[in-house]
């Protein structure tokens, strides 16, 4: 069953965040990740719990692959670039 990494990101340094994007994508793809949304136009329907900023959705073949990407030694230094240049809420969810 597919699993998704979903991130709501508020970019604080756009130039450095571009570096993050360029480095993160091939690593995600190495673990079977496919970007389904990456900061595209968003229309809020309800916002009782929070007001998202910029959504990224990456589909993986399963939870194991999503976790393997997020916790990989290859991704850890790249994640630090994101963390230094953006605020983020990030989670993994099982698909249906």
* CB 60, CB 2: distance < 8 Å: yes
Rounded distance between C-alpha atoms, residue 68 and residue 60, angstroms: 10
Kindly state the helix (H) or strand (E) to which residue 38 belongs, with its residue range: strand 34-38
For the domain spanning 3-41+54-94, the CATH number is 3.30.70.100
Query: Which of the pair, 96 or 11, is modelled with greater confidence?
Result: 11
| pLDDT exceeds cutoff 90 at 55 | yes
Mean pLDDT, the chain, integer: 96
* CB 75, CB 24: distance < 8 Å: yes
The pLDDT value recorded for residue 96 is: 78
Query: What band does 49 get if pLDDT is binned at 50, 70 and 90?
Result: very high
pTM assigned to the model: 0.93
* CB 69, CB 60: distance < 8 Å: yes
* Residues in Cβ contact with 73 at an 8 Å cutoff, skipping those fewer than 6 apart: none
| pLDDT exceeds cutoff 90 at 64 | yes
């Amino acid at each position: 069953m597919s699993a998704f990494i979903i991130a709501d990101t508020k970019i604080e340094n756009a130039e450095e965040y571009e570096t993050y994007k360029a480095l993160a994508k091939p690593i995600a793809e190495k673990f079977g990740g496919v970007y389904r949304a990456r900061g595209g136009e968003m229309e809020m329907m309800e916002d009782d719990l929070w007001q998202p900023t910029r959504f990224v959705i990456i589909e993986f073949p399963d939870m194991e692959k999503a976790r393997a990407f997020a916790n990989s030694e290859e991704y850890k230094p790249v994640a630090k670039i994101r963390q230094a240049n953006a605020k983020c809420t990030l989670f993994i969810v099982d698909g249906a």
